[in-house]
């Protein structure tokens, strides 16, 4: 169930939680949730809250064009892929590669095949992925260098704030509660971006954890669950100087 045009009024510098009751049979506590606030509909988000399930790593599909050190004397796989997790020179990890060494022992940008079957997390442009020679039977390591073609734009991934979650208190039965907390740090007086006397626009997105599509590069299996406005009001206490 999608709910649009919800109007919310909050007081500046308050600590509170927004709760959204979502009538769905598909969401569980480990799925993806994201809440974004902007100054105008469709504009850049100035405040975002998300759990850690939106970074789905590398695009699923061919990664052969990113080979920067191929092999020419590997052990032919005879059509049976080598399934392996490469090491990285940075913080990324968890990707799974399917490698196919051709009958000549080649795995290069033009020989053999290499694809991503699981994207992992935390990869960045410029990272190198290494498959050791012990895996391919070659005399040297196989190396991939990631480019912008291997990853979604950074703007596709909301920041991992880890302070929004799905409370699937009835397990696999609807409804579920999505909780979005706010603290004084979100407001202008305490270094945040939300200013008193301003109306903001927000969206709530939730979805199943999946991966990025290798051809189109967007999030799969997620949807806008709710939208609306948020007006930040002063209170008699803040006007009197009693808080924050």
- Residues 4-60: pLDDT tens digits? 788 999 998 889 999 988 776 667 777 788 999 999 988 889 999 998 777 888 988
Non-local (6+) Cβ contacts of 47 within 8 A are 36, 37, 186, 192, 193, 194
**In DSSP terms, which residues pair with 88 in a beta bridge?**
129
Could you tell me whether strands 96-100 and 82-84 are parallel, antiparallel, or unpaired per DSSP bridges?
antiparallel
Q: Which of 63-77, 112-126, 181-195, 206-220 has the lowest mean pLDDT?
A: 206-220
Could you tell me whether strands 16-22 and 3-11 are parallel, antiparallel, or unpaired per DSSP bridges?
unpaired
Tens of pLDDT along 154-171? Answer: 777 888 888 888 887 655
Tens of pLDDT along 170-202? Answer: 555 667 888 999 999 999 988 999 999 999 999
**Residue with structure tokens 């590069």?**
217
pTM of the model: 0.73
**For the chain, which domains are there?**
3-55+155-239 (2.60.40.10), 61-150 (no CATH)
**In DSSP terms, which residues pair with 17 in a beta bridge?**
181
Tens of pLDDT along 84-128? Answer: 999 999 989 999 999 999 999 999 999 999 999 989 988 999 999
Position 1 pLDDT exceeds 50: no
Question: Distance (Å, rounded) from C-alpha 155 to C-alpha 97?
Answer: 25
Q: Which residue has the higher pLDDT, 217 or 229?
A: 229
Position 63 pLDDT exceeds 50: yes
């Amino acid at each position: 169930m999608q709910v649009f045009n919800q109007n919310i009024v909050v007081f500046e510098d308050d600590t509170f939680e927004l709760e959204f009751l979502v009538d769905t049979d598909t969401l569980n506590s480990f799925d993806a949730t994201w809440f974004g606030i902007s100054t105008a509909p469709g504009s850049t988000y100035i405040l975002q809250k998300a759990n850690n399930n939106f970074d789905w790593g590398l695009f699923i599909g061919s990664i052969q064009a990113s080979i920067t050190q191929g092999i020419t004397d590997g052990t032919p796989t005879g059509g049976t892929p080598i399934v392996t997790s490469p090491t990285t020179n940075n913080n990324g990890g968890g990707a799974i590669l399917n490698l196919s060494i051709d009958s000549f022992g080649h795995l290069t940008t033009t020989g053999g095949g290499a694809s991503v079957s699981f994207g992992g997390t935390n990869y960045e442009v410029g990272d190198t992925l290494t498959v050791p020679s012990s895996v391919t039977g070659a005399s040297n390591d196989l190396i991939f260098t990631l480019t912008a073609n291997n990853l979604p734009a950074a703007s596709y991934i909301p920041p991992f704030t880890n302070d929004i979650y799905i409370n699937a208190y009835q397990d696999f039965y609807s409804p579920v509660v999505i909780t979005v907390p706010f603290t004084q740090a979100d407001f202008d007086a305490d270094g945040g971006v939300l200013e008193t006397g301003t109306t903001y626009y927000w969206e709530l997105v939730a979805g199943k954890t999946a991966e990025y599509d290798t051809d189109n590069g967007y999030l799969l299996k997620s949807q806008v669950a709710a939208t609306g406005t948020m007006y930040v009001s002063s209170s008699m206490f803040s006007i009197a100087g009693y808080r924050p």
